């Protein structure tokens, strides 16, 4: 049983590492247009860095994340 638990821990750790790598990659990307709706992202917002969505779509995503979807 211990071996199985350890294997699952390892699997989870490597999965978390992959997710973290993916997220840090996304942070560096800044788009001039929203990846969801294609609307232009205001230059002021682009300066924040790592912006890939317009304000409306970002709010939608954040709302969904808060709900755990």
Question: Residues binding Zn ion: what is the number (CB under 5 A)?
Answer: 6
Q: Does 46 bind Zn ion (CB under 5 A)?
A: no
5/1 Cα distance (integer angstroms): 6
Q: Does 12 bind Zn ion (CB under 5 A)?
A: no
Q: Does 61 bind Zn ion (CB under 5 A)?
A: no
CB of 27: closest distance to Zn ion in angstroms?
A: 18
Residues making up the chain, counted from first to last: 69
Q: Does 57 bind Zn ion (CB under 5 A)?
A: yes
Residue 40 bridge partners (DSSP): 33
69/61 Cα distance (integer angstroms): 9
């Amino acid at each position: 049983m211990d071996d199985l638990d350890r294997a699952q821990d390892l699997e989870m750790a490597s999965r978390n590492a992959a997710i973290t790598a993916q997220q840090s990659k996304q942070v560096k990307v800044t788009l001039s247009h929203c990846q969801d709706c294609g609307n232009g992202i205001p230059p002021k917002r682009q300066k924040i860095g790592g912006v890939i969505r317009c304000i409306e779509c970002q709010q939608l995503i954040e709302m969904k994340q808060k709900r755990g979807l």
